[in-house]
A and B are shown apart, each in its own frame.
Chain A
Amino acid sequence: MIRVSIEVNDKTVTAEVEPRLTLLDFIRDVAGLKGTHAGCEHGVCGACTVLVEGNAIRSCLVLAVQADEQEVISIEGVGGDLGRSGELSIVQDAFCEAHGLQCGYCTPGMVLAAEALLADTPNPTEGDVREAISGNICRCTGYVQIVEAVMLAADRLANRNYKSKPGQNSDQTRG
Chain B
Amino acid sequence: MTYLATFHWGWLLASLLLGLAMGWIAVVHRGQSVSKVTVRWLAGLAAALVAAALAHVLPGRPGYWLDLGLIMFALYLTGCAAGSWLRDRALSRHRG
Query: Do the two shown chains form a genuine complex with each other?
Result: no
Chain B residues in contact with chain A, CB under 8 A? none
